[in-house]
Amino acid sequence: QVQLAESGGGLVQAGGSLRLSCAASVRTFSSYPMAWFRQAPGKEREFVAAISWGGRNTDYADSVEGRFTISRDNAKNKMYLQMNSLKPEDTAVYYCAARRTTAWGTYRTVGDYDYWGQGTQVTVSS
Protein backbone atom coordinates (compact mmCIF):
# COMPACT_ATOMS: atom_id res chain seq x y z
CA GLN A 1 0.00 0.00 0.00
CA VAL A 2 0.97 3.59 -0.57
CA GLN A 3 0.66 6.16 2.18
CA LEU A 4 0.84 9.81 1.23
CA ALA A 5 1.29 12.83 3.48
CA GLU A 6 1.02 16.45 2.34
CA SER A 7 2.70 19.41 4.01
CA GLY A 8 3.49 23.03 3.31
CA GLY A 9 0.06 24.59 3.31
CA GLY A 10 -0.74 27.83 5.08
CA LEU A 11 -2.04 31.37 4.82
CA VAL A 12 -0.55 33.66 2.18
CA GLN A 13 -1.50 36.98 0.62
CA ALA A 14 -2.60 37.21 -2.98
CA GLY A 15 0.42 37.31 -5.26
CA GLY A 16 2.50 35.26 -2.84
CA SER A 17 3.99 31.79 -3.14
CA LEU A 18 3.84 28.45 -1.36
CA ARG A 19 5.53 25.12 -1.92
CA LEU A 20 3.59 21.98 -1.09
CA SER A 21 5.28 18.64 -0.48
CA CYS A 22 3.93 15.11 -0.65
CA ALA A 23 5.89 12.36 1.06
CA ALA A 24 5.24 8.75 0.04
CA SER A 25 5.89 5.70 2.16
CA VAL A 26 6.50 3.10 -0.53
CA ARG A 27 9.74 1.62 -1.89
CA THR A 28 8.55 1.75 -5.49
CA PHE A 29 7.55 5.44 -5.47
CA SER A 30 9.31 5.97 -8.79
CA SER A 31 6.82 3.70 -10.56
CA TYR A 32 3.74 5.76 -9.68
CA PRO A 33 2.39 8.65 -11.71
CA MET A 34 1.34 11.33 -9.25
CA ALA A 35 -1.02 14.27 -9.14
CA TRP A 36 -2.28 17.18 -7.10
CA PHE A 37 -5.98 17.89 -6.67
CA ARG A 38 -7.76 20.53 -4.65
CA GLN A 39 -11.17 20.97 -3.07
CA ALA A 40 -12.70 24.29 -2.10
CA PRO A 41 -15.64 24.49 0.35
CA GLY A 42 -18.86 23.42 -1.30
CA LYS A 43 -17.12 22.34 -4.50
CA GLU A 44 -16.03 19.07 -5.98
CA ARG A 45 -12.43 17.95 -5.87
CA GLU A 46 -10.67 19.17 -9.01
CA PHE A 47 -7.51 18.32 -10.86
CA VAL A 48 -4.54 20.67 -10.51
CA ALA A 49 -1.47 18.99 -11.99
CA ALA A 50 0.02 15.59 -12.73
CA ILE A 51 3.50 14.20 -13.31
CA SER A 52 4.69 10.95 -14.86
CA TRP A 53 6.62 8.35 -12.90
CA GLY A 54 9.97 9.62 -14.18
CA GLY A 55 9.04 13.28 -14.06
CA ARG A 56 9.47 13.85 -17.78
CA ASN A 57 5.80 14.51 -18.51
CA THR A 58 3.53 16.98 -16.77
CA ASP A 59 -0.06 18.15 -17.16
CA TYR A 60 -1.75 21.21 -15.71
CA ALA A 61 -5.25 22.52 -15.33
CA ASP A 62 -5.81 25.68 -17.34
CA SER A 63 -6.48 27.62 -14.15
CA VAL A 64 -2.94 27.07 -12.83
CA GLU A 65 -0.90 26.77 -16.05
CA GLY A 66 2.05 29.16 -15.91
CA ARG A 67 1.69 29.78 -12.15
CA PHE A 68 2.14 26.32 -10.61
CA THR A 69 4.96 23.82 -11.19
CA ILE A 70 4.79 20.14 -10.30
CA SER A 71 7.98 18.18 -9.72
CA ARG A 72 9.23 15.07 -7.97
CA ASP A 73 12.38 13.67 -6.42
CA ASN A 74 12.21 9.89 -6.64
CA ALA A 75 15.35 9.48 -4.55
CA LYS A 76 13.53 11.17 -1.66
CA ASN A 77 10.09 9.67 -2.34
CA LYS A 78 8.65 13.15 -2.62
CA MET A 79 6.53 15.22 -4.95
CA TYR A 80 6.18 19.00 -4.90
CA LEU A 81 3.87 21.75 -6.06
CA GLN A 82 5.41 25.19 -6.36
CA MET A 83 2.60 27.73 -6.38
CA ASN A 84 3.34 31.29 -7.47
CA SER A 85 1.14 34.31 -8.09
CA LEU A 86 -1.49 32.85 -5.82
CA LYS A 87 -5.06 34.09 -6.07
CA PRO A 88 -7.92 33.98 -3.57
CA GLU A 89 -9.63 31.43 -5.82
CA ASP A 90 -6.71 29.05 -5.19
CA THR A 91 -7.94 28.67 -1.62
CA ALA A 92 -8.68 24.99 -1.03
CA VAL A 93 -7.52 21.82 0.61
CA TYR A 94 -4.79 20.36 -1.59
CA TYR A 95 -4.41 16.60 -1.94
CA CYS A 96 -1.69 14.49 -3.48
CA ALA A 97 -2.64 11.28 -5.24
CA ALA A 98 -0.90 8.27 -6.77
CA ARG A 99 -1.94 6.09 -9.64
CA ARG A 100 -1.03 2.38 -9.77
CA THR A 101 -0.74 2.15 -13.55
CA THR A 102 2.61 3.46 -14.77
CA ALA A 103 1.40 4.46 -18.24
CA TRP A 104 1.30 8.20 -18.87
CA GLY A 105 -1.84 9.78 -20.23
CA THR A 106 -4.47 12.41 -19.51
CA TYR A 107 -5.72 11.35 -16.11
CA ARG A 108 -7.61 14.22 -14.53
CA THR A 109 -10.42 12.65 -12.57
CA VAL A 110 -10.58 11.50 -8.97
CA GLY A 111 -11.36 7.96 -10.09
CA ASP A 112 -8.11 7.74 -12.05
CA TYR A 113 -6.07 7.67 -8.81
CA ASP A 114 -5.79 4.89 -6.28
CA TYR A 115 -4.13 6.44 -3.23
CA TRP A 116 -4.74 9.78 -1.51
CA GLY A 117 -3.25 11.86 1.25
CA GLN A 118 -5.20 13.64 3.97
CA GLY A 119 -4.77 17.08 2.45
CA THR A 120 -3.21 20.38 3.45
CA GLN A 121 -5.08 23.69 3.67
CA VAL A 122 -4.04 26.59 1.47
CA THR A 123 -5.68 29.94 2.15
CA VAL A 124 -5.01 32.97 -0.03
CA SER A 125 -6.18 36.30 1.33
CA SER A 126 -7.06 39.24 -0.90
Strands across the sheet with 4-7, in order? Answer: 4-7, 18-24, 78-83, 68-73
8 Å CB contact between 88 and 126: yes
Query: What does each of the 126 residues of the chain score in pLDDT, given as a tens digit?
Result: 899 999 999 999 999 999 999 999 988 888 899 999 999 999 999 999 999 999 999 999 999 999 999 999 999 999 999 999 999 999 999 999 999 987 788 899 999 999 999 999 999 999
Neighbours of 92 (CB within 10 A): 22
- Chain-centroid distance, C-alpha 7: 11
